[in-house]
Amino acid sequence: MIELPESYVLAEQINENLVGKTIKKAEANTFSHGFAWYSGDPAEYAKKLKGQTIISANPGTVFTTEGHTEIVLNDWFLLFTTALKYHFSAETLPKKHQFLAEFTDGTFLSSTVQMYGRLGCEPIGSEKWNNGGNALFFSDDFDEQYFEKLVATINPKESVKALLATKQRIPGLGNGVLQDILFNCEIHPKTRLSSLKDSDIQNLFNSMKNTMTNMRDKGGRDTETLLFGEKGEYKTIFSNKAMSKDCPNCGGQKEREAFLGGNIYFCPVCQKLEKVIG
């Protein structure tokens, strides 16, 4: 599912291609999904959105939380943690969707939840889902000092994965982008925070910044689908898609295992585990 890099790419694509389009009709939750959560009553989206025009889009940096895709309309803004797809005709619409908008020019915008996702329609100015004071990742405020303070608030017995990819401590950074971040600084996902040296924390911070910037600038990851159905151009090193390839550093075999509600991918040679998390 989309994470922080893709939310930036989607916002840019919407700004370049959808601004000025007016919604003829819309629907939400037509096909129920057990892990799709809506802001407000999805049955009211049709009435709210009819006649609304797209003004702009952003990666969750205005009303909600970075890592969302926000679409700003005249009176409302839409937010999605899910992939979005633009359709030039009804023939390409998905069989099932959790959100669908038809524009007056006969084109469409859809969102289909895969694993889970949040969708919302809120009045302009609403702070219902604001970021709670978190520094934006792609800003000067998210610096090494900010990250060190964040690390200091977490139980040192927790793992690095727990720090980065649970409880949305860094909004938009999830299990998907985590894998390459940790490989690039040679830290195992299960490593206890207590075993990290100051230099490890510095390397982790630099890897987060460099890896996520690379993912964003290359148009998202090759595991995720963007606005026109295309994949991102960032080639993931550690993902389900890349498991058949050997480690690019040592040439060894990659490993995968379940941990903290999802899979982790790592190289047992390059990312040595000093302490096992129970």
What are 130's two structure tokens? Answer: 């604001």
Q: What is the pLDDT of residues 42-84, one digit of tens each?
A: 999 999 999 999 999 999 999 988 999 999 999 999 999 999 9
| 163-175 per-position pLDDT tens digit | 999 888 899 999 9
| Residue-level pLDDT at 38 | 94
Residue type, 120: G
Give the separation between CA 254 and CA 120, rounded to whole angstroms: 38
| Residue keyed to tokens 């995720």 | 224
Mean per-residue pLDDT, 110-138: 87
Position 119 confidence tier, pLDDT thresholds 50, 70, 90: very high
What pLDDT score does 261 carry? 87
Check residue 158 and give its pLDDT.
Answer: 96
The whole-angstrom separation of Cα 146 and Cα 149 is 5
**pLDDT computed for residue 276 by the predictor:** 46
Domains and CATH numbers, the chain: 4-123 (3.20.190.10), 144-224+236-266 (1.10.8.50)
Question: CA 113, CA 168: separation in Å to the nearest integer?
Answer: 19
pLDDT for the residue 131: 64
Q: Which of 110, 26, 25, 23 is nearest to 74 (CA)?
A: 23
| Contacts for 99 with CB less than 8 Å, ≥ 6 apart | 26, 27, 28, 45, 78, 80, 109, 110, 111, 119
With bands split at pLDDT 50, 70 and 90, how would you rate the model's confidence at 268? very high
Output the pLDDT for position 170: 92
Distance CA 23, CA 4 (A): 27
- Pick from 86, 111, 110: which is nearest to 17 by CA? 86
CA atoms within 13 A on the CB side of 149: 8
| Dist. CA 150–CA 21, nearest whole Å | 41
| pLDDT at residue number 150 | 95
Supply the pLDDT for residue 277: 43
Amino acid found at 239: S
72 vs 34, which has greater pLDDT? Answer: 72
Nearest in space to 19 (alpha carbons), one of 44, 55, 62, 50? 55
Quote the percentage of the chain above a pLDDT of 90.
Answer: 87
Rounded CA-CA distance 257/235 in Å is: 21
Share of the chain above pLDDT 70, in %: 97
For the entire predicted model, the pTM comes to 0.94
CA 257 to CA 129: how far, in whole Å?
Answer: 33
The strand pairing partners of 192, in sequence order, are 159
- CB burial class (10 A; 0-12, 13-18, 19+) of residue 268? middle
Look over the chain and give the mean of its residue pLDDT values, rounded to a whole number: 94
Residue 118 has pLDDT above 60, yes or no: yes
Specify the pLDDT at position 115. Answer: 83
Q: Which of the four pLDDT bands, split at 50, 70 and 90, describes residue 228?
A: very high
* pLDDT band for position 102 (cuts 50, 70, 90): very high
Per-residue confidence band for 126, with pLDDT thresholds at 50, 70 and 90: confident
What's the whole-number mean pLDDT along residues 12-16? 98
